[in-house]
Amino acid sequence: MLWRAARRFLRRRSGSGHGKPGETMTQAPLSTDRFHAALAQALGAERLARRVALAPYTTFRIGGEADLFYEARTPEELAQAIQAARDGGVPYFLLGCGANILVSDRGVRGLVIRNRARQTDIDPDTGWVRAASGAIMYPDVIQAAVEAGLSGLEHYVGIPSTVGGALWQNLHFLSPAPKRERTMFIEEVVVEADLLTEEGERRTVGTDYFDFGYDYSVLHDRDDIVLSATFRLEPGDRARMREIMAENLAWRQARHPPLETEPSVGSIFKKIEGIGAGRLIDEAGLKGARIGGVEITRRHANIMINRGGAKATDVIALIRRVQEIVASEAGYLLETEIAFVGEYDETPDARPYTAQTFPRQYIERAAARRPALP
């Protein structure tokens, strides 16, 4: 069955979290034909693929098949696909870059909509940049803005994200070197966005609507879908912007494994105020730890990489091992920040620990090691 956490993620991210208990990937669920019929008329049977492997569409290169798969190429097609799934009662998941998610080995029931709406329009006179929600922040949007002499987005170079994902998480990065004195957020340059709301309405909303926070927007709590967004940028020096981009790319390359050769999902565990999760994992001697095809990279202890043939079950097993060791040795209860998408077992060892499910033995060890837990 779907995990409760996965259900919440699907519901908030995609507008639906309903699944069929007990489904496996050995054969297509009986409801697939009904779902296909419900969607084919609206989306076109020739555009609606069956049993598509999702691993190639994620940065971790892990995951089973989607029962149904559709690529939306424009904001209009995206809105149409979302509404067709809602009207047909079809569970769906909206896929962007495929970063920050771990897709189950059993895959995803219902419809996966891959957002390929990548149109970008720039008005150099006003500094406004309008981009469809499937546009990739880098290179699609950032490169185009820099070439137009517009500054404000160059800080986010190298972070795998679509425009929709950037608003979802309030994309952020450190201010330029050498000081890097503050965190810069995408909300600082967002003017407005076009949405398909959870009520099925098309609306244009301003920045305040999103209630942005650190790694947060209202999209976590509402089933709204971003169709496009508009940014207001300032005239900038192209040479300086390219310098910032080069510095930020070098900073990330020194700390993050290259996705092309070492697929990963980004940081696995949530930030702990005052101390980084990566530092705790490193101090526990876990860099290089491996289960199956997944390994904690020696570049950054909070990142796991796919060494080849890794499965979602390998990732979860390694996550649990890290949680147990860090709780026992450092006195902190690490929680995951990636999303678990698809069909997972309900057995206790088939999921990472959460604040509610850490066994008492680890809570007690953590309390003994560090009495004042965050």
> Would you say residue 68 has pLDDT above 60?
yes
Of residues 89 and 271, the one with the higher pLDDT is 89
Q: Domain holding 321: CATH number?
A: 3.90.78.10
Q: Is residue 332 part of a domain?
A: yes
* Same domain, residue pair 11 and 37: yes
Question: Looking at residue 153, which CATH number applies to its domain?
Answer: 3.30.465.10
Q: Are residues 241 and 133 in the same domain?
A: yes
Whether 95 and 220 share a structural domain: no
- Residue 247 within a domain: yes
Nearest partner of 362 among 335, 326, 319, judged by Cα: 326
In a domain, 77, yes or no: yes
Q: Is the domain of 126 the same as that of 83?
A: no
Q: Note whether 140 and 91 are same-domain residues.
A: no
Average pLDDT of the segment spanning 145-160: 96
pLDDT tens, position by position, 15-65: 333 333 223 333 344 478 989 998 999 999 999 999 999 999 999 999 999
Q: Is residue 374 part of a domain?
A: no
Tell me how far apart the alpha carbons of residues 228 and 75 are, in angstroms, rounded to a whole number.
7
Task: Report the number of distinct structural domains present in the chain.
Answer: 3
Percent above pLDDT 90 for the chain: 79
Residue-wise pLDDT for 272-317, tens only, equals 877 899 999 999 999 999 999 999 999 999 999 999 999 999 999 9
In a domain, 69, yes or no: yes
Question: Any idea how long the chain is?
Answer: 374
Do 159 and 248 have their domain in common? yes
Which of residues 234, 255, 276 is at a domain's end? Answer: 255
Is pTM beyond 0.75? Reply is yes
Chain segment 312-333, per-residue pLDDT in tens: 999 999 999 999 999 999 999 9
Name the token pair of 342.
């698809």
Write down which residue in 115, 136, 153 finishes a domain: 115
* Residues 97 and 185 occupy one common structural domain: no
Any domain includes 315: yes
> Could you tell me the two tokens for 125?
């006179």
Distance CA 171, CA 58 (A): 19
**CATH assignment at residue 68:** 3.30.43.10
- Whether residue 364 lies inside any domain: the answer is yes
Choosing from 64, 83, 115, the residue where a domain stops is 115
Q: Are residues 153 and 222 in the same domain?
A: yes
The answer to whether residues 204 and 246 belong to one domain is yes
Cα angle, residue 63 at apex, residues 305 and 308 outer, rounded to 5°: 40
Return the pLDDT at 1: 34
* Same-domain check for residues 30 and 126: no
What is the model's pLDDT at position 365? Answer: 80
Burial of 129 (0-12, 13-18, 19+ CB in 10 A): buried
Give yes or no: residues 140 and 209 share one domain. yes
- Domain holding 9, by residue range, is 4-115
Residues in CB range of 109: below 8 A, 6 or more apart:
2, 19, 20, 23, 29, 31, 67, 91, 342, 343
136-155: average pLDDT: 97
Asked if residue 11 and residue 110 are part of one domain, the reply reads yes
